[in-house]
Amino acid sequence: MGGCMSLSDWTIDNPESAGLRSEPLRDMIEWLDGFSHANIHSVLVARHGRLLFEHYRPGEDECWGEPLGNVAHGADSLHDLRSVTKSVISLLLGVALDRKLISSIDDPIVHWFPEYPDLRTPEKERITLRHLLMMSAGLEWNENVPFTDPRNSEVRMLRSADQYRYVLEQPVVAPGGQIWNYNSGGTLLIEAVIAKAAGGALDDVASEFLLKPLGISNFAWTKNPKSGIPEVGGLRLCSRDLAKIGQLVVDGGICNGRQIVSQEWVKESTAAHIGPADLTYFYGYQWWLGRSLVEGREVPWICAMGHGGQRIFAVPSLDLVAVFTAGLYADAINGRLPLVLFNRYVLGAVASRD
């Protein structure tokens, strides 16, 4: 492994220095130039701890639904991460566990919310942090409809007077741990547990536990205007710093010789624990797991996925990290285009069987 980059920034090198071919990466730029609908904002590729490819494109963007117009994206540009934030939260929880601030992910979630005694039922006593991490809490929840649909549970949560109560009061419709159902409300509860355990605001805890140790100081976290709670997908980072998070995962939680989050947590949280019934992806603890075909062999990858086309692909077997940001918030192509680019061009640049 190349090891995490220096705290100040990445070491920049050419693709060939780390066993990649430049031609497929140049082909990707040419393909994007001919596809005006793509609205890809950045593509970064790192291998062996070095930044080998970095490409930025102007395009329409927004910050948590507020239009920003046509933005000239660059190395210092903060970008909405949306649900990539969930994977960062998983790392933060790992640090909290390492520091013994949280005893176990098998703790009942209601024990962390004594302010809602009326919501403590035998069924909800059985829902644990592990279930929330796996998106398998068994609560009634629907994020399978657009944000514009009033039935969307996340939108209802964001508009509620008490977001935590809204999540916790949802009826239990399945036993915990059995059925995968995407639930951003569960992540909101995890965020609250981390903040309570650490005794500070979530954005401050994130800075202390993870971002500063990675040399990341340029960040923002969009907060709910009513409650002041950091939005569940509101973290904003620049693309180079997204790549640092991917490299941390590839390197088993180590940066500059320092164990930022335990190797055991990185391994456990990025392992496949449950599978959506209608997808070929698997799910860990707020991380997606998939595989691609490279030169006739299957290559597994770990991915942080965010609405609009935000992605961190971490490929430990190739010591490879790829980052994509985009402005496809209202376009269904956001779920497919980054994977197409990753499979066709980034993995296409892998020059040999490692």
Per-residue model confidence (pLDDT) at position 352: 60
| pTM for the model | 0.96
Give per-residue pLDDT as tens, 112-151.
999 999 999 999 999 999 999 999 999 999 999 988 898 9
Give tens-digit pLDDT for 242-282: 999 999 999 999 999 999 999 999 999 999 999 999 989 99
For the chain, give the mean pLDDT: 95
C-alpha span between 307 and 292 (Å, rounded)? 21
Cα gap 49→27, rounded to integer Å: 24
Could you tell me which of 262, 261, 263, 287 has the C-alpha nearest to residue 273? 287
| pLDDT for residue 8 | 52
pLDDT of residue 1: 42
Output the tens digit of pLDDT for each of the chain's 354 residues: 445 544 358 999 999 999 999 999 999 999 999 998 999 999 999 999 999 999 999 999 999 999 999 999 999 999 999 999 999 999 999 999 999 999 999 999 999 999 999 999 999 999 999 999 999 999 999 999 988 898 999 999 999 999 999 999 999 999 999 999 999 999 999 999 999 999 999 999 999 999 999 999 999 999 999 889 999 999 999 999 999 999 999 999 999 999 999 999 999 999 999 999 998 999 999 999 999 999 899 999 999 999 999 999 999 999 999 999 999 999 989 889 999 999 999 999 996 644
Phi (first) and psi of residue 313, to 5 degrees: -100, 125
Task: Look at residue 36 in the predicted model and tell me its pLDDT.
Answer: 85
pLDDT at 253 (0 to 100):
98
* pLDDT score of 5: 46
Please tell me the distance from the alpha carbon of residue 85 to that of residue 50, in angstroms, as a whole number. 23
Give the 3-state secondary structure of residue 280.
Answer: coil
Contact in structure between 202 and 194 (CB atoms under 8 Å): yes
Give the C-alpha separation, 63 to 176, whole Å. Answer: 34
CB atoms closer than 10 angstroms to residue 288: 22
Closest residue by Cα to residue 300 from 262, 252, 245, 250: 250
Cβ within 8 Å of residue 278, ≥6 positions away: none
Identify the pLDDT of residue 226.
Answer: 86
CA pair distance 135, 6, nearest whole angstrom: 34
Instruction: Write the DSSP assignment of 24-62 as a string of letters.
Output: HHHHHHHHHHT-TT--EEEEEEEETTEEEEEEE--EEEE
Whether 76 contacts 238, CB under 8 Å: yes
In whole angstroms, give the CA distance from residue 229 to residue 223. Answer: 5
